[in-house]
Every structure is written in C-alpha cells, then in structure tokens.
Amino acid sequence: MNARVWIDAARPKTLGASIAPVVLGTALASRDGHHDALVALLIVVAALAIQIGTNFCNDYCDFKRGADRNRVGPIRATQAGLVSPEAMKMAAILSFALALFVGIFLVWRGGTPILAIGLISIACGALYTAGPYPLAYVGLGDLFVLIFFGPVAVAGTYYLQALTWSSDAWMLGLMPGFLSVGILVVNNLRDRESDRIAHKRTLVVLFGEKFGRLEYACCLAASALVVISFQQIVGLVGSLCVMSLLVGAGFVLTLGVLHSEGRELHRFLPATNMLLIITSLLTAIFLVCPL
C-alpha cells in the first residue's frame, strides 16, 4: 500500500501539537538543570503515537458514523476506500500499543502520576471519536485538546526529567494548549456543515460559525497573553519577542480565517501548526539562553 496514504492519514500538518509541549517542558527542565535527552525523545515518540492513533481512530470512527461523506477538507483514507476500515482500526490499535510500550519506561521513571496521565491520554484519544459519547461529538474536543496538548503535556514532560512538578510548566503549558485548540477550530470551521449532517456537535456546530471564528481569534490572543503574563519565565526580552510574533502572525491568520470559507480555510491549519512550532522553539531557546 502507498506509504503516502498512511502519512496523510496521520495528519502531519497537525503533529506540532504533540512536539511543541515536549520542547517547552524539556527547555524548562534544562533551565533548572534536569535535561535528559533520552527521556525527552521517548516522550516525543509516545506523544506522537497517541496523536497519530487518535487520528487513525478518528478516520475509522468518522467513516463508520458517516461523518466524512460530505467533507470539504482533504479526503479521509477510509472514506475514500484507500484503506480498509479493518486496516485503519488495526493501525489505531498499533499506534496506541506503541505508546503503551514506550510508556512502560516512562512509568518506571515517573511512577503513578505518569501512569495516570498516560492511561487517561490514551483513553481520551480513543474516545475522542469512539464509544457511545465521543468527546468530539458532544462539544468536549476543544477542552480535551487545551488540557492534554497544553499544561498536562508540558508539566508531564518536565516531571519526567526533573521528577518534581513545576508551576512554571503548568502555566506556560497554556500557550501550546491554546494554539492547538486553534488548529482544531480551523478544522471544525471548515467541516461544520458535514459535521452538522453527521450530528457531530463540535462547538462550532453548537454555537455557530461566528463563534468559531471568534474562538480562533481568542485562542491566538490568549497564547500571546500567557507569554507576556509570565515573562519572568522566559525573561522580558524573550517574552516580548515571542509575544510580538504571536500578535503579528496571529493578526494575519485571524484576518484570513475571518474572511475564508470552505476549502480556503484548510491552508490556515498548517499555518497555525507552524506558528505553534516556531513560537515553542523560540520560547525554548529563550528559556535555555535568556537575554
């Protein structure tokens, strides 16, 4: 089978949501003298496995529920017949199994807190579109993304390297959390009509298109406010640089999202993902090498 099909099904344009929090948590740990490259690498593998497993599960479950029949965005592999439902289901299971396998070492290092975070993350990833009350179908997807791709991921990364919790990690984790929600909102705005037909009650479906565009703007603005509010974490110069990037790029992206429809919205998904990656890398640099 074409490897490109599986790469597209993994949705690489959204995977910055898994990598960025690990970068931030590792930078915070390094600042405090607790950097561990091997642990950081294993966290990235586990986080990517969970997100890719969630995406595969989403591909399979949305196909079974008929949510992809009238898609505006890129085709989904199962709906297009490029991958059988059974193969997609197995791919999701294998991805979650990889996360569990890698998680054995992480749990051995971090103990009960990491076991709880890992199991809840995998369960929420599977239940995002699976089960009788999928999170994405009852308006809870945004909250899940904010929490688990934000503070939980950053603080968990820090804990695994320092073996202690950091209030800085919990607070700074809101930045990637809000930007990750922004990625989700673009997706939900683009697919709102097909989601409505499939009874997928995202916040955009529940509260309308204008709410979704406002939510996107608020997510980008909130990420900038997080950085400047906790400027003591990355230093004044660092926080001003990152906030300036977030405000400038956020303004351009928000204008685009406000005035785009249908397939036009799709280009703002990788753009928001790139903003997440760049701002997280910049913040990490200022954490390790403050000016």
Within its chain, how far is the Cα of 187 from the centroid? Answer: 12
pLDDT of residue 147: 95
The terminus-to-terminus CA distance of the chain in angstroms comes to 50
pTM to 2 decimal places: 0.92
pLDDT of residue 23: 95
pLDDT of residue 238: 73
Mean pLDDT on 203-208? 94
Give the CA dihedral 171, 172, 175, 176, nearest 10 degrees. -110
- Arithmetic mean of pLDDT over the chain: 90
Mean pLDDT on 21-48? 94
Q: List domains and CATH numbers for the chain.
A: 3-288 (1.10.600)
- Tell me: pLDDT of 108 over 70: yes
- Tell me: pLDDT of 212 over 90: yes
Q: Could you report the per-residue pLDDT of 60-86, keeping only the tens digit for each?
A: 988 888 766 666 667 788 888 889 999
- Tell me: pLDDT of 165 over 90: yes
Residue linked to tokens 């999170």: 135
